[in-house]
Amino acid sequence: MTLSLNDIKHVAKLARIEISEAEAQQNLIQLSGIFSLIEQMQTVDTQGIKPMSHPHDMTQRLREDTVTETDQHLLFQSIAPEVENGYYLVPKVIE
Amino acid sequence: MLNASLKQLSLLLSEKKISSAELAGEFLARIKALNPDLNAFITVDEEKSLKQAQAADKMIASGQFTALTGIPVAQKDMFCTKGWLTTCGSKMLSNFVSPYDAAVVNQLDRAGMVNLGKTNMDEFAMGSSNETSYYGPVKNPWDRQAVPGGSSGGSACAVAARLVPAATGSDTGGSIRQPAALCGISGIRPTYGLVSRYGMIALASSIDQAGPMAKSAEDLALLLNSMIGFDERDSTSLQREKENYTQDLEKSIDGLRIGLPREFFAEGISSDVSSAVETALAEYRKLGATFVEVSLPNSKHAVSVYCVLAAAEASSNLSRFDGIRYGYRTPHHTNLEDLYTKTRAEGFGDEVKRRILMGTHVLTHGCYETYYLQAQKLRRLITEDFIKAFEQCDVMMGPTSPTVAFNLGEKCADPTQMYLSDTYTCTVSLAGLPGMSIPIGFGNNKRPAGLQIIGNYFREALLLNTAHRYQQVTNWHELTPPGINL
Cβ <8 Å between B383 and A51: no
Amino acid at B347: G
Interface touch B335/A7, C-beta < 8 Å: no
Q: What CATH number does the domain containing A17 carry? A: 1.10.20
Taking CB atoms and an 8 Å cutoff, what residues of chain B touch A75?
99
Residue A92 resides in a domain: no
Distances from the Cα of A72 to the Cα of A77, A82, A87, B99, B468, angstroms: 9, 17, 13, 10, 46
CB-based contact B325 A82, cutoff 8 Å: no
Of B303, B322, B327, the CB nearest to A37: B303
Cβ-based contacts of B379 with chain A (< 8 Å): 51-52
Q: Which chain B residue is nearest to residue A89, measuring alpha carbons? A: B324
Interface test with A, best of B126, B357, B428 (most A CBs within 10 A): B357
β-pair partners for B214: B166, B186
Q: Which residues of A touch B85 (CB under 8 A)?
A: none
How many whole angstroms separate alpha carbon A75 and alpha carbon A82? 14
Q: Do B235 and A61 touch (CB under 8 A)?
A: yes
Nearest CB to B414: which of A17, A33, A63?
A33
Q: Which residue of A has its CA nearest to B340?
A: A16
Q: Which residues of A touch B238 (CB under 8 A)?
A: 56, 58
Provide the sign of the torsion angle of the four alpha carbons B401, B409, A31, A35, taken in this order.
negative
ipTM confidence score: 0.96
Of residues B192, B325, B341, nearest to A56 (C-beta):
B192
Contact A55 B193 (CB under 8 A): yes
Contacts of B357 in chain A (CB under 8 A): 8, 11-12, 15, 17, 27, 31
* A86: closest CA of chain B, how far (Å): 12
Q: What is the pLDDT of residues B72-112, one digit of tens each?
A: 999 999 999 999 999 999 999 999 999 999 999 999 999 99
B141 to chain A, minimum CA–CA distance in Å?
30
Give the residue among A66, A82, A72 at the shortest CA–CA distance from B100: A72
On chain B, the residues whose CB falls within 8 A of the CB of A59 are none
Tell if the CB–CB gap between A51 and B303 is shorter than 8 Å: no
Asked if A11 and B360 come within 8 Å (Cβ–Cβ), the reply is: yes
Contact A34 B337 (CB under 8 A): no
Distances (CA, A) of B37 to A29, B75, B87, B183, B462: 34, 19, 20, 16, 38
**What is the three-class DSSP state of A36?**
helix
Residues 393-452 of B with CB under 8 A from A: 414-416, 419, 430-433
d(CA A40, CA B345): 31
Q: Does B322 lie at the interface with A, CB-CB under 8 angstroms?
A: yes
Q: Strand order of the sheet with strand B72-76?
A: B41-43, B114-119, B72-76, B166-171, B209-214, B186-189, B435-442, B448-455, B395-399, B257-261, B290-294
How many Cβ contacts (< 8 angstroms) between chains A and B? 161
Which candidate from A38, A55, A82 shows the least CB-CB separation from B371?
Answer: A38
pLDDT of residue B109: 98
Does A59 reside within a domain? no
Q: Which residues contact B248 (CB under 8 A, 6 or more apart)?
A: B461, B462, B464, B465
Are B370 and A1 an interchain contact pair (Cβ–Cβ within 8 Å)? Answer: yes
- Residue A1's pLDDT is 64
Q: Report the number of distinct structural domains present in chain A.
A: 1
Interface contact flag, B380 A49, Cβ < 8 Å: yes
Which residues on chain A are in Cβ contact (under 8 Å) with B329?
81-82
Q: Which residues of chain B have pLDDT under 70?
A: none
Q: Name every chain A residue with its beta carbon within 8 A of the beta carbon of B306.
A: none
Question: For residue A79, what is the nearest residue in chain B, using CA coordinates?
Answer: B326
Which chain B residue's Cα is nearest to A8?
B357
d(CA B393, CA B291): 8
pLDDT of B1: 85
Which of chain A's residues have a Cβ under 8 Å away from the Cβ of B322?
A: 16
- Element at B466 (helix H, strand E): helix B460-473
Domains for chain B: give ranges and CATH numbers: 6-250+463-478 (3.90.1300.10)
- Residue ranges making up the domain that contains A38: 5-43
Q: By CA distance, what is A28's nearest residue in B? A: B354
- For residue A50, being part of any structural domain is answered with no
pTM: 0.97
In whole angstroms, give the CA distance from residue A36 to residue A28. 12
Q: Distances from the Cα of B272 to the Cαs of B180, B259, B446, in angstroms?
A: 17, 21, 10
Per-residue b or e along A55-70, where b marks 16 or more CB atoms closer than 10 Å to that residue's CB: beeeeeeeeeeeeeee
User: Among B344, B358, B430, whose Cβ lies nearest the Cβ of A34?
Assistant: B358
Mean pLDDT of A23-39: 95
Looking at residue B71, what is its pLDDT?
98
CA-based nearest distance B341→chain A, Å: 4
Cross-chain CB nearest to A79 (options B97, B341, B380): B97
pLDDT in tens, B131-162: 999 999 999 999 999 999 999 999 999 999 99
The answer to whether the beta carbons of residues B268 and B398 sit under 8 Å apart is no
Answer whether residue A62 is part of any domain.
Answer: no
> Which residues of B are catalytically annotated?
76, 151, 175
Q: Which of B96, B341, B375 comes nearest A18 by C-beta?
A: B341
Say if the Cβ atoms of A56 and B236 lie within 8 Å: yes
A72 to chain B: nearest residue by CA?
Answer: B99
